[in-house]
Amino acid sequence: MAAYCFAFFIMLGMFGACWAGCVREEMFFTDIVIKCSGEDVTSIPSNLDTNLQRLLVENTGIQEIDETTLAPYTNLRSVLITRNSHLAKLSGHIFSKNFLLSDIKITHNSQLSQIHPSTFDGVFKRGFRVL
């Protein structure tokens, strides 16, 4: 996978567009979308493109998402966390630095048993709705 990413982005002249288990999925107009997937992905890399706007995390080996995980991505508007069979815990304040965030989907994470009471602190103050 890494060799494929490297070769693909060399042809396009785009360096730094691949991370272990995470790839630039596609672009919607100007949105930067990154998808992290695979059992070998045990954390969301801290060096993804800081202009990241949509993050898809699915079928990974991630066990916990803490308050530092998404903090570097202040342009993040949408997060999908789905089908992560090892994900057991969401720490507090994980979205506190993502002021532009308007869409959070957390679904089908079969081992998710601990959601800290402050996990979504700050999100609802921004007019966020739960559907």
Q: What percent of the chain has pLDDT over 90?
A: 66
Does the model's pTM come out above 0.85? no
Residue type, 30: T
> Residue 29 region, left (φ>0) first, then alpha (ψ -120 to 50), else beta?
left
- Helix or strand (DSSP H, E) at 97: none
Closest by Cα among 102, 93, 56 to 75: 102
Alpha-carbon span 110 to 94, nearest angstrom: 20
Cα atoms in the Cβ-side hemisphere of radius 13 Å centred on 59: 5
Question: How confident is the model at residue 104, as a pLDDT?
Answer: 94
Domain residue limits, the chain: 22-126
Given a cut of 90, whether residue 19 has pLDDT beyond it is no
Which of 130 and 7 is assigned the larger pLDDT?
Answer: 130
pLDDT the model gives residue 105: 95
pLDDT reading at 49 higher than 80 = yes
**∠ CA(8), CA(53), CA(95), 5° rounding?**
130
Average pLDDT over residues 1-29: 56
Domain boundaries 22-126, corresponding CATH code: 3.80.10.10
Identity at 75, one-letter amino acid code: N
Phi, psi of 72, deg, nearest 5: -70, -15
The per-residue pLDDT for range 81-130, each reduced to its tens digit, is 999 999 999 999 999 999 999 899 999 999 999 999 999 887 766 666 66
